[in-house]
Amino acid sequence: MQHPRLSRFATAAITATAALALTGPVAAATPATPATLATTTAPADLAVGSPSVTAPIPLLPRPSDHLTVTVSGSGKAAKDGTYELYCHPARGTHTDARGACDKLDSLTRWGKDAFAGVPKGSKCTMQYGGPITARVTGTWAGRPVNAQFKRTDGCEIGRWDRFVPVLPAVTS
Does residue 172 lie within any of the structural domains? no
- Summarize the confidence of residues 126-132 as an average pLDDT: 96
* Statement to judge: residues 30 and 108 lie in one domain: no
* Statement to judge: residues 120 and 156 lie in one domain: yes
* Statement to judge: residues 127 and 45 lie in one domain: no
Asked if the model's pLDDT at residue 115 lies above 50, the reply is yes
Does residue 149 lie within any of the structural domains? yes
Confidence of residue 64 (pLDDT cuts 50, 70, 90): confident
* Statement to judge: residues 121 and 95 lie in one domain: yes
Look up the domain containing 40 and give its range. Answer: 8-53
* Statement to judge: residues 134 and 81 lie in one domain: yes
* Statement to judge: residues 81 and 139 lie in one domain: yes
* Statement to judge: residues 73 and 151 lie in one domain: yes
pLDDT at 5: 53
Does residue 168 lie within any of the structural domains? no
pLDDT at 78: 86
| Burial status of residue 140 (CB atoms within 10 A of its CB: 0-12, 13-18, 19 or more) | buried
Asked if the model's pLDDT at residue 77 lies above 80, the reply is yes
CATH of the domain at 132: 3.30.350.10
* Of residues 137, 140, 141, 94, the one with CA closest to residue 149: 137
* Statement to judge: residues 111 and 39 lie in one domain: no
* Statement to judge: residues 25 and 93 lie in one domain: no
Amino acid in position 122: S
* Per-residue exposure over 6-39, b if at least 16 CB sit within 10 Å of its own CB, e if not: beeebeeeeeeeeeeeeeeeeeeeeeeeeeeeee
Rounded CA gap, 1 and 112, in Å?
A: 18
* Statement to judge: residues 69 and 139 lie in one domain: yes
The tens digit of pLDDT for each residue in 80-113 reads: 999 999 999 999 999 999 999 999 999 999 889 9
Does residue 2 lie within any of the structural domains? no
Q: How many separate domains does the chain show?
A: 2
* Statement to judge: residues 74 and 96 lie in one domain: yes
| Burial status of residue 71 (CB atoms within 10 A of its CB: 0-12, 13-18, 19 or more) | buried
